[in-house]
Structure 1
Amino acid sequence: MLNNESIISIIIPTFNRVKLLKSTLSSIKVQSYTHWECLVIDDGSTDGTEELLVKRCNEDSRFRYIKRPVTRQKGASTCRNIGLELAIGKYILFFDSDDVLLPEVLESRMQAVLKNPEYPFHVFQTARFNNKIQDSDAVWNSLSKPNASDLQDFLNINPVWHTSGPIWSKRFLIQNNLCFTEGVNSWQDWEFHIRVLLLHPSYLKINSKETMVYQRFHEEEAINKLNALDIQLNRIQLLFKLIEAFKAEKQFDNIQVQKQFFKLFYFVIQKMPFKELDKKLWQHIEEELYLVPKLDVCFWKQYVHFKERYHGRGTYTFYKLLKRLKKQVFNKRFPVDDFSNRTWYQIKRN
């Protein structure tokens, strides 16, 4: 068992991804930086994950295999939190079971971290690939913008970094009670990073090829298997939780913040089946976002309502009128459905 040599703890949640997990663990094992531990938290796999991890742990004691207790909620967020609770490293890297590290990456990252230990976290780049790392064609997002713009980018659903991007000071996470929201299956990483940024921490972004993690795109991605309605309901739940976080930091009594939340609710609601758009949900949103002009709320509520139903008899003409009003009036007041500034995975690799 590692003790003071375990400088960084790599935390990986997994569920029935044994084929992908094998290459992920292999990429960690061959790191030139040897002062690590890797905690793999199993969310109830039935595909041979346990056999793989038992073998890995026997071969290298730096690997630790943990099963999620049945008394804890299922999900990647719970598994990450369990890993954080059990980690013995000074630094934390949250990793996914389909991510891959080139052999020198951890060493390059830790050199940067140890050179600037005063920062509570350091952010590094992530690139995507499909079959081979050599085929990687785009990076996660730009790390060149000022830190002051990052919170707004996240709120625009333009996440600046991937889950595997930061290396965290464990002390910073624990002291600020920062953990992942359990019981949700979408946007939990996004919401976690927004809560971090609400604290206005100082942090360093480093954009170099030597520190890049590679994220695999594949058919088994968990989000692709989720029911569409479940995804949207989870996102609604997270948005209300985020509102409470903004209130706690006394940053919610601001019309621009509340307008941004209205945009986020609209982004989710427009993807929901019409029958799920009940009056209680809209009422709850209006009560929370009390600074958003009622005229805008009323218009966009009607717009999404008739956008869903415009093919029905007697509604198409009214929908055309709403589209005209949107273009001529409401987009100029408050462009609720405009997320055109997103650069997430649209930046080509050099």
Structure 2
Amino acid sequence: MSNNSKVTIIMATYNRAHFIEETLLSIQKQTFSEWECLIIDDGGSDNTKEVIAEILIEDKRFQFLKRPDIYVKGLSGCRNYGLDLAKGEYIIFFDDDDIVHPQNLECCVDELSTKDISFCRYIRDAFFGDFDYAFDYSKTYTSFYIDKKDVEKMLRNELQFNSCAIMWKSGCFERNRFAENLMYCEDWELYSRIVSSGYSGISIAKSLFFGRKHPESMTGEFYRNDPVRRESFTEAILLVLQSLKEKKLLTYSLKRYFIAIAIEFKEYNLYKKTLNILELPTFEKMKWQIFYTILPLRLKVYQMKKVLKKKIN
């Protein structure tokens, strides 16, 4: 392990022999060199280690480690293991099938080392098939600050916090870890928990990470209605609600937002579980029951009006 690791990169991997080498090569090309990369294998059965063996020998900043059984199998357990090993002042999570901009670490470290902030968010773009390596090396970009008041935008994904699009100061994880029971939206739950705890940061308008889109991704599985991912999403929602309730940050609009989402997850009884966490007075509970009952009809009417308006125009 490098003694000059200002940044710790944590990468969980599982059967990505066909993608991971390209990802590691993009990390090697970083303009900022003081990093360590902890590659945490989640019990894969392919030849990932053999594929990257030469890189591991040539560049000691990379470490290939097996997730111990004391951490739950999955992305969250691997990342928590990496957090427990991390030596860097800054922490960043990369996936094992994506491409990293050469200036990624440099830009984020510049922001975090010169401002009184705890994280640096940047733009994550997506690509399909072969990657176009025509990077933009400009260091001119706009930015804005993020703090607790922006949590609602985060939760609504109006201000997206992708897992591989933020560098954090290590202190953010002193009391915060990924919920290892979650198999989807674990980053959404954790990152909203961190920011709602009072940590502030900056968002820079520069594309520094490129996510590979393919059907094997967890997001792809969620949108194909994979039951494990869907159930995990409901569990993440309940954790978010509990956290916001304890911090007295549950606004009317957030209650409305999550109760509306519950309609799409009736098989997990999400509406009833949501109300149990909220512990509402009887009258307010009745009000939300009416809202929950008539919302599907209202949405249907809205869609019909939208279609009709389109036909008229």
The TM-score, its normalising length taken from structure 2, stands at 0.82
Given that residues 71 and 78 in structure 2 are in contact (C-alpha distance below 8 angstroms), is that contact kept between their aligned partners in structure 1?
no
When residues 146 and 102 of structure 1 are mapped into structure 2, their CA distance, relative to the original with a 3 A threshold, is closer
Given that residues 23 and 96 in structure 2 are in contact (C-alpha distance below 8 angstroms), is that contact kept between their aligned partners in structure 1?
yes
Given that residues 99 and 214 in structure 1 are in contact (C-alpha distance below 8 angstroms), is that contact kept between their aligned partners in structure 2?
yes
Distance in 2 of aligned mates of 1:324 and 1:191: 27
Is 1:299 the counterpart of 2:254 in the alignment?
no
Is 1:108 the counterpart of 2:99 in the alignment?
no
Distance in 2 of aligned mates of 1:324 and 1:8: 47
Distance in 2 of aligned mates of 1:67 and 1:13: 10
Given that residues 239 and 265 in structure 1 are in contact (C-alpha distance below 8 angstroms), is that contact kept between their aligned partners in structure 2?
no
Is 1:244 the counterpart of 2:242 in the alignment?
yes
Q: 3-state DSSP class of the match of 2:73?
A: coil
Which of 190, 195, 198 aligns to 1:197? It is: 195
When residues 36 and 325 of structure 1 are mapped into structure 2, their CA distance, relative to the original with a 3 A threshold, is closer
Q: 3-state DSSP class of the match of 1:200?
A: coil
Cα deviation, residue 80, structure 1: 0.8
Deviations 1:58-95 (A, max 9, x none): 12110011111123211101111111110111111111
Match of 2:56 in 1: 57
Given that residues 74 and 183 in structure 1 are in contact (C-alpha distance below 8 angstroms), is that contact kept between their aligned partners in structure 2?
no
- Residues 97-246 of structure 1: pairs in structure 2 closer than 5 A: 97-116=96-115, 118-134=116-132, 147-148=146-147, 150-174=150-174, 177-209=175-207, 212-225=208-221, 228-246=226-244
Match of 1:2 in 2: 2
Distance in 1 of aligned mates of 2:73 and 2:220: 17
When residues 80 and 265 of structure 1 are mapped into structure 2, their CA distance, relative to the original with a 3 A threshold, is farther
Cα deviation, residue 9, structure 1: 0.7
Cα deviation, residue 297, structure 1: 2.4
Any unmatched runs of 5+ in structure 2?
135-141, 303-313
Given that residues 119 and 169 in structure 2 are in contact (C-alpha distance below 8 angstroms), is that contact kept between their aligned partners in structure 1?
yes
Given that residues 232 and 271 in structure 1 are in contact (C-alpha distance below 8 angstroms), is that contact kept between their aligned partners in structure 2?
no
Q: 3-state DSSP class of the match of 1:293?
A: helix
Match of 1:271 in 2: 264
Count of equivalent residues: 290
Distance in 2 of aligned mates of 1:236 and 1:77: 16
Distance in 2 of aligned mates of 1:169 and 1:324: 42
Distance in 2 of aligned mates of 1:324 and 1:91: 45
Aligned AA (1:223): T
Q: 3-state DSSP class of the match of 1:134?
A: coil
Cα deviation, residue 295, structure 1: 4.5
Distance in 2 of aligned mates of 1:324 and 1:242: 25
Distance in 1 of aligned mates of 2:131 and 2:57: 29
Aligned AA (1:298): Q
Aligned AA (1:230): V
Report the aligned-residue RMSD: 2.8
Distance in 2 of aligned mates of 1:265 and 1:298: 9
Distance in 2 of aligned mates of 1:101 and 1:325: 42
Deviations 1:89-139 (A, max 9, x none): 1111111112212333322332333333x3222222211111244399xxx
Cα deviation, residue 44, structure 1: 1.0
Distance in 1 of aligned mates of 2:274 and 2:259: 8
Is 1:260 the counterpart of 2:251 in the alignment?
no
Match of 1:30 in 2: 29
Given that residues 150 and 160 in structure 1 are in contact (C-alpha distance below 8 angstroms), is that contact kept between their aligned partners in structure 2?
no
Distance in 2 of aligned mates of 1:325 and 1:100: 41
Cα deviation, residue 270, structure 1: 3.3
Distance in 2 of aligned mates of 1:324 and 1:205: 34
Distance in 1 of aligned mates of 2:50 and 2:188: 32
Distance in 2 of aligned mates of 1:323 and 1:108: 46
Distance in 1 of aligned mates of 2:215 and 2:300: 41
